[in-house]
Structure 1
Amino acid sequence: MKNITIFLFVFLFAVVKAQTVSDYKYIVIPAEFNDFKDNKAYGLSNLLEKSLKAKKYTVLSSTKNDWPSDALMNPCSILNTDLLNDKSMFRNKLILQFKDCNNKVVFNEKGSSMIKEFEPGFQDALKQTLVKIPVSNPTTTVNKIAETTSTEPIKKQLQDSKETILQTSNFVRYSNGTISVQKIQIDNSQFILVDGNSSVPFATLKSTTKEGVFRVKLGSGESTIGYYENANIVIEMPKANGDYIKEVFAAK
């Protein structure tokens, strides 16, 4: 049994290792790139989005409330985009990168333009990198292998977590170490977390088609996702720079 497990792990690793851009359907373009902000954006995001859509990719924003359910359920089916200013005195140069869910670079291409003006120069450099991107041809190989080897344990874990929570009172307290919230079950498909100190709703969680995964509406109005993990409630809290941080609320 141990040998089979090792074989499956090695096989899965080999398949993931071989992933290319065309294996993906979804690509996230952030609201802005660190090297190309504000008046230095040069229209690169629009050019990139237009090109990716022409090559059959589905472009997503960094705001997860707009994501389709299959993207929310499988974040490893998504690539994240980065544009780097490859600074040079005599040319406008940049690097286009796509990274997977483990922050590994799947695609890395350099572009260089002799055009001296920044906007047309950087756009020309980006166009050179876009030529190298293949047409999207999504693969489900990795997903199928992962489901074959681990669907049942995960499903059981989610079910156990759900039962543990539902068997307790409708009023359960959770804490992330900084704030304390009270879980109030509204119905079978949704519940709210209320700030224990102010009685103000902290978040509303609604079920998705994926068991144990929720669409979350924060009290601030922002949207994100949440899920059960070992009887704890986990919420991916959005940060100002567009990234997300994992907040774990443990039952008290």
Structure 2
Amino acid sequence: MKRYLFIILLAISSAVQAQSNTANYKYIIVPEKFSFLKQVNQYGLNTLVKALFEEKGFTVYFDNTELPQEIATDRCKTLTVELQEKNSMFVTNLTLLLKDCKGTIVVKSKEGKSREKEYNTSYNMALRDAFTSFNDFNYAADQPTVATSTVPANTNTETKTVPVIVDQTTATKTGHETLLYAQAINNGYQLIDATPKIVMTLLKTSMEDCYISNKGNANGIVIKKNGNWFFEYYKNDVLVAEKLSIKF
């Protein structure tokens, strides 16, 4: 019992320490190509990393774009993303690191895993699995907070809306479903609401009108049936079909 209590207290302490370490950062730099890959934005991983951190409130730039003067002259105001691969014969393993300007690891995710055979799907699923380390972190303006978690992974930033091109600028609903706008990315689409905010990411599969997707902690597929789009996933061992309104 004492051993379990110690582990819980250690996890809480680690989470608070990670929050403290990231409290002064609101910018993240994502490389255009990760070191273990051969091509720029291969498998759409760099784009996906950028989108995921933007969802958490960070202001994110690729390292090959022009940076604002504030951080161009002082990179110590930024955190840089590093993605590490440690694959076995049948499993893709990815770990996300956030490093400061001195190369010190500020936050390290859990090791995300996927057993999918197709590279695009496997790498994207492993990355999303690694990013679940950030699920319990919430940010409110001027009040970064972190929920108790056994994984020391957090993000802290000043809230800032990242400009996203959408077809409309006001919230639109069709029935009870919020209208989402599909914005093309490598290997699929990201679904944007009228805020604009990235709500979901759709990853292509070998089947037409069928995408791998997730929404919060729910992982499943987005599929078109009888002219309508549905997000299907399991909740408490029960299959849930959530109707979506998507404009491509």
User: TM-score, normalized by length of structure 1?
Assistant: 0.44
Q: Which has the higher strand share?
A: 2
* Higher helix proportion (structure 1 or 2): 1
